[in-house]
């Protein structure tokens, strides 16, 4: 079933509960509150809850804090430790709890199940429970079975926001997808987002659930493809920068999401591709393309670590300074960060690793950073290092002070695994320099590659 919901939703403003104030829940809550809905957020971490009540976001996202404070000030946004309290008064309950990766790669639904067990008895007749977290195909039906009430409906409404632009993506989504086996609740959920004016797709729950996985797996495919092409550029002497420009000008391919790097990571792409692969296997469907996408990413981590190791003398103790620890720029999130994958490969080769990341305080004792000597300054991290490697594309890494770096390092070697620095500047400062699939030695006679728009050419 695909249809367009009415422009005016049946209830203009609703009482909404959002369970879980993480990267999906909090942006969803502040956005819905900014549209005029009354939103109660349930967060069971006491520290996080206290901060939120004081108007301090528990996660680092641009534009989040002002919306949070505005919601609190206008009494459209409330916080409670109890999912049961939040859900008991709500017309619509968004489940935004984590769905981590289980040992076999599938999605672990233990948090979803615990919330359902807690709230099912107190839901109002006619309440709509919405799966916003990324959940495997069939979860809406499983949740409906767990709730086991004929007067409550379960809807799938996947979230497509990106970390680092979560608020902008929530206020201006490219689409709203709603999956439901009944039309009326689907219209209510779609109507909550009427202020966004985004295109709405209403479909069945299985299709809606699968759209989210298909989107993330497609993005991962694009990245594994471009990383493999970058490797081919290195093998053939071609330049991946010009190559992706040439690719991206084809509107069927599109210019976005084509930057090669150290491999893709984060809280979504790795776990969602693995979960989709498990779903395919469990459904008896062969999906070798997806398995190759995941394997290509592991190979990219290996290739990046090997590039760094190729610049070290295996006979002497080595030190590598890693610039950037988060899985991408613009977030403080290090979950499934490519940087940590590559660091563990370097450490396995007995390399001493120092690091600087603008979101990491050097006094931080985080378990994922064990064995890494942290600094609050990139040049301090680079002191006595044999190689500096850029693993996150923070803009402050784009123009290093090459002379200063040369002065503090033991050996002048630099690996840019995000292609943010200028190879010519590195060469001018006497650095041995490697990046990803780029022509690193530039022929001065070579014309600078340019692309001109049709307007410019006219
Ligand atoms: C992703 C999806 O984009 C989003 O729609 C979904 O809701 C959640 O998962 P996010 O995890 O925030 O969002 O990160 P994204 O911007 O997609 O980046 C994922 C990884 O790909 C990062 O490691 C990033 O560095 C890498 N990447 C992205 C590249 O290597 N090159 C690119 O061109 C783009």
Question: Mind listing the pLDDT tens digit for each residue in 424-437?
Answer: 999 999 999 999 99
The 8-class DSSP code of residue 172 comes to S
Q: In the predicted model, what is the mean pLDDT of residues 262-284?
A: 96
Mind listing the pLDDT tens digit for each residue in 119-168?
999 999 999 999 998 999 999 999 999 999 999 999 999 999 999 999 99
Ligand 1: centre distance to CA 339 (Å): 14
Residues whose CB falls within 8 Å of the CB of residue 22, separated by 6 or more in sequence, listed in order: 58, 59, 96, 97, 98
Instruction: Decide: helix, strand or coil at residue 132.
Output: coil
Atom index in ligand 1 nearest the CA of residue 227 equals 30
Ligand 1: centre distance to CA 222 (Å): 11
- Using a CB cutoff of 8 Å and minimum separation of 24, what contacts does 173-176 make? 173/198, 174/198, 174/199, 175/199, 175/200, 175/201, 176/200, 176/201
Compute CA distances 337 → 63, 159, 277, 343, whole Å.
Answer: 24, 21, 20, 10
Ligand 1: centre distance to CA 338 (Å): 12
Q: In the predicted model, what is the mean pLDDT of residues 53-82?
A: 95
Compute CA distances 180 → 121, 177, 432, whole Å.
Answer: 22, 10, 57
Q: Which fold has domain 231-434?
A: Rossmann fold (3.40.50)
Q: What is the pLDDT of residue 103?
A: 83
Mind listing the pLDDT tens digit for each residue in 162-178?
999 999 999 999 999 99
Q: In the predicted model, what is the mean pLDDT of residues 349-367?
A: 94
Atom index in ligand 1 nearest the CA of residue 216 equals 2
| Intervals of CATH 3.40.50.720 along the chain | 2-203, 231-434
Ligand 1: centre distance to CA 75 (Å): 34
Q: In the Cβ-directed half-sphere of 320, how many Cα atoms lie within 13 Å?
A: 32
Q: What is the pLDDT of residue 442?
A: 52
Shortest-distance Cα residue to atom 34 of ligand 1: 257
Two tokens, residue 186 = 């689907």
- Of the ranges 38-42, 187-191, 332-336, 441-445, which one carries the lowest mean pLDDT score? 441-445
Annotated catalytic residue: which of 14, 96, 233, 268?
268
pLDDT value at 65 more than 50: yes
- Ligand 1 binding residues, C-beta < 6 A: 159-163, 216, 219, 223, 257-259, 261, 264-269, 327-328, 338
pLDDT value at 84 more than 90: yes
pLDDT value at 236 more than 60: yes
pLDDT value at 451 more than 60: no
Q: What is the pLDDT of residue 16?
A: 98
Cβ–Cβ under 8 Å, residues 128 and 20? no
User: What does the mean pLDDT of the chain come to?
Assistant: 93
Atom index in ligand 1 nearest the CA of residue 258 equals 33
Q: Which fold has domain 2-203?
A: Rossmann fold (3.40.50)
> Which residue from 224, 264, 357, 397 has its CB within 8 A of the most atoms of ligand 1, so it is best to mutate?
264
Ligand 1: centre distance to CA 162 (Å): 7
Q: What is the pLDDT of residue 406?
A: 97
pLDDT value at 2 more than 50: no
- Of the ranges 32-41, 93-102, 141-150, which one carries the lowest mean pLDDT score? 93-102
Q: What is the pLDDT of residue 439?
A: 85
Label residue 128 exposed, middle or buried (CB < 10 Å: 0-12, 13-18, 19+). buried
pLDDT value at 80 more than 80: yes
Q: Nearest to residue 218, comparing CAs of 289, 284, 137? A: 289
Shortest-distance Cα residue to atom 15 of ligand 1: 162
pLDDT value at 3 more than 90: no
> Which residue from 261, 329, 419, 420 has its CB within 8 A of the most atoms of ligand 1, so it is best to mutate?
261
Ligand 1: centre distance to CA 108 (Å): 21
Residue 243's CB is within 10 A of a number of other CB atoms, namely: 19
Cα–Cα–Cα angle for 400, 444, 437, rounded to 5 degrees: 60
Mind listing the pLDDT tens digit for each residue in 164-222?
999 999 999 999 999 999 999 999 999 999 999 999 999 999 999 999 999 999 999 99
Measure the CA–CA gap between 323 and 372, rounded to whole angstroms. 12
pLDDT value at 13 more than 60: yes
Classify strands 15-19 and 92-95 as parallel, antiparallel or unpaired.
parallel
Cα–Cα–Cα angle for 394, 400, 402, rounded to 5 degrees: 160
Let me know if 268 is a catalytic residue: yes
Q: What is the pLDDT of residue 364?
A: 80
């Amino acid at each position: 079933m695909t249809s367009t919901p009415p422009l005016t939703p049946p209830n203009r403003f609703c009482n909404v509960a959002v369970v879980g104030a993480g990267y999906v829940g909090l942006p969803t809550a502040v956005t819905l509150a900014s549209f005029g809905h009354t939103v109660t957020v349930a967060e069971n971490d006491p520290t996080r809850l206290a901060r939120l009540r004081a108007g301090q976001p528990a996660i680092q996202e641009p534009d989040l804090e002002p919306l949070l404070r505005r919601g609190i000030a206008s009494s459209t946004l409330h916080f409670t430790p109890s999912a049961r309290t939040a859900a008991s008064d709500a017309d619509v309950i968004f489940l935004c709890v984590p769905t981590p990766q289980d040992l076999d790669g599938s999605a672990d639904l233990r948090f979803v199940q615990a919330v359902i067990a807690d709230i099912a008895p107190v839901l109002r007749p006619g309440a709509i429970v919405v799966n916003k977290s990324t959940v495997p195909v069939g979860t809406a039906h499983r949740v409906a079975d767990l709730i086991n009430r004929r007067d409550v409906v379960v809807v799938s409404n996947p979230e497509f926001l990106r970390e680092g632009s979560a608020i902008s993506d929530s206020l201006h989504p490219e689409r709203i997808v709603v999956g439901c086996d009944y039309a009326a609740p689907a219209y209510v959920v779609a109507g909550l987002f009427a202020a966004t004016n985004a295109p709405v797709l209403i479909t069945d729950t299985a299709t809606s659930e699968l759209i989210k996985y298909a989107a993330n797996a497609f993005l991962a495919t694009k990245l594994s493809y471009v990383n493999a092409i970058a490797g081919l550029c290195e093998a053939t002497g071609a330049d991946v920068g010009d190559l992706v420009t040439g690719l991206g000008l084809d509107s069927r391919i599109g210019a976005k999401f084509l930057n090669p790097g150290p491999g893709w990571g984060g809280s979504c792409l790795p776990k969602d591709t693995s979960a989709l692969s498990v779903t395919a296997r469990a459904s008896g469907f062969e999906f070798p393309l997806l398995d190759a996408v995941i394997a290509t990413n592991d190979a990219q981590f290996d290739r990046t670590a090997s590039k760094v190791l190729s610049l070290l003398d295996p006979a002497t103790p080595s030190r590598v300074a890693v610039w950037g620890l988060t899985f991408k720029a613009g977030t403080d999130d290090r979950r499934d960060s490519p940087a940590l994958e590559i660091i563990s490969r370097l450490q396995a080769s007995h390399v001493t690793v120092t690091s600087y990341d603008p979101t990491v305080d050097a006094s931080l004792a985080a378990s994922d950073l064990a064995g890494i000597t942290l600094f609050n300054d990139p040049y301090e991290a680079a002191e006595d290092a044999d190689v500096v490697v850029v693993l996150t594309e923070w803009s402050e890494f784009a123009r290093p002070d090459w002379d200063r770096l040369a002065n503090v390092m033991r050996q002048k070697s630099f690996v840019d695994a995000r292609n943010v620095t200028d190879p010519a500047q590195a060469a001018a400062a006497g650095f041995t320099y490697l990046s990803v699939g780029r022509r690193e030695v530039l022929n001065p006679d070579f014309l600078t590659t340019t692309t001109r728009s049709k307007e410019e050419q006219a």
